[in-house]
Structure 1
C-alpha cells in the first residue's frame, strides 16, 4: 500500500493535475473574491471562513476524476484488482495519495490566503484545524464518487453532480467551525461532527468504493 501511495503521489506531481491545479485555483479564488465583493475589511472578515472552505472543496473536486480514471484507461486497475492487496486497500491508498497531493497542500496554504481575505487573527488556527479534519473526508467521498463513474467516458460532470451533495455536511460543519474559531465562540460541536464525518467516511466508504469498482471491472 505504501508503494501504491508513493506511485500515485509521483504521478500527481509529475502531471501537475492534483498538486498544482488545486493550489492555483485556490489562489485565484482568494484573489478574485476581494475584487468582486469590494475591499471592505468587515465584509471580507465575515465571509473569509466560508469562502476558504468553499475554495478548498472546489479545488479538491478538480482532481477527483484522476483518482481511478487513468488506471482504468491503461489497464492498471485490472492488474490492481488481481494483486495480493485487497481492493479496499487500493481504494485507501488512492484516497490517501489524493489527500496528500490536494487536501494537505490546501490546508497548509489556507492561512496565507486568509491574510488576503482579512481573516480574524483568532481564526487561522481553527481554519487550519477544520481543514485538516475535513479534507480527508472530501478525498474519501470523492474516491467513492470517482469509483461510481470510472467506466463512463467524460463522466466529469456527472461526478461533480454526484459528489457535491455528499460534500454539503462537511462544508457546513467545517465552515461553521472556522467561523466560530474566528469569532472566539465555542466550536466543540462542529469540530466533533466534522471528525465524525471523516471517521465514518474512512471506515465505510472503502468497502462501498471497492464494491462499485468490482462491478465496473466486470
Structure 2
C-alpha cells in the first residue's frame, strides 16, 4: 500500500496540472462572489465559510474522473483486478483515494485561509473553515471514488461523476458549513457538527472503497 501511495503521489506530481486547475477554479469561485453580492462586508463575513465550502466542494469534483481512468488506459487496472481479492482491492482503492486527496484536494485546504480574506471572514472563522475542510473533504474523495468506478468504462465520464456524487456530498457540506458558522457565533456550537462531519468522513472511508471495488469488479465483468 505504501508503494502504491508513493507511486500515485509521483504520478500526481508529474501531472501537476490537476492541483493547479483545482486551486484556480477555487480562486475563481471565491473571487467572483463579492462582485455578485456587493461590498457589504458584514454579509460577506456571514456567508464566507459557506462560499469556501462550496468552492472547495466544486473544485474537488474536477479530477475525480481520472482516479481510475489512467490505470484503465495503461492496463494496470486489469492487473489490480486480477491480482487482488475483493478486500485487497478495497484497500487499493482506499490508498488511491488518500493519494488523490493529498495531491488534488489538500492544496485547496491550504489556500482556503488566504481566499477567506476576500470574504472578510474573521480569523476564528478562517481557522474553523480550514479545520472543517481538512476533516470533511476526504469524504468527498471517498464518495467520488464510487462515481469514478461506475463510469470508468466511459471515455468522458467527468460530468457524469459530478452529477452522480453531488447529492451524496450535501450532508458533508451542511455539517461543514454549520461547524464553521458555529465557531464564529458560539464556540459551543462548533463541536457537535464537527464531530458529525468527522463521523461522515470515517463512514465514507469504509463504505466508499468497498463500493468502488465492487463497481470496478462489475465493470471488469
TM bucket by the smaller chain? over 0.9
Q: SS at 2:153's partner residue? A: coil
- Counterpart CA distance in 1 for 2:51 and 2:133 is 13
CA contact (8 A) 1:120 1:183 kept: no
CA contact (8 A) 2:62 2:158 kept: no
2:58 is equivalent to residue 41 of structure 1: no
Higher mean displacement: 125-134 or 148-157: 148-157
CA contact (8 A) 2:136 2:172 kept: yes
Query: Gaps spanning 5+ residues in structure 2: where?
Result: none
Aligned twin of 2:99: 97
Query: Gaps spanning 5+ residues in structure 1: where?
Result: none
Aligned twin of 1:188: 191
Cα gap change, 1:68/1:17 in structure 2, threshold over 3 Å: closer, same or farther? farther
- Counterpart CA distance in 1 for 2:2 and 2:155 is 30
TM-score, length of structure 2 as denominator length = 0.93
Aligned twin of 1:204: 207
- Counterpart CA distance in 2 for 1:168 and 1:176 is 12
Q: SS at 1:122's partner residue? A: helix
Higher mean displacement: 6-15 or 205-214: 6-15
Q: SS at 2:61's partner residue? A: helix
Higher mean displacement: 88-97 or 1-10: 1-10
CA contact (8 A) 1:124 1:182 kept: no
CA contact (8 A) 1:67 1:146 kept: yes
Aligned partner of 1:143 among 133, 145, 148: 145
Higher mean displacement: 76-85 or 63-72: 76-85
- Counterpart CA distance in 1 for 2:60 and 2:34 is 22
Q: Please, what is the CA RMSD of the aligned residues?
A: 1.4
* Residues 53-132 of structure 1: pairs in structure 2 closer than 5 A: 53-83=53-83, 86-132=88-134
Structure 1: 4+ residue segments shifted above 3 A: none
Question: How far does the alpha carbon of each residue in 1:30-57 deviate from its partner, in whole angstroms, 9 at most, with x for none?
Answer: 2111122222211110110000000000
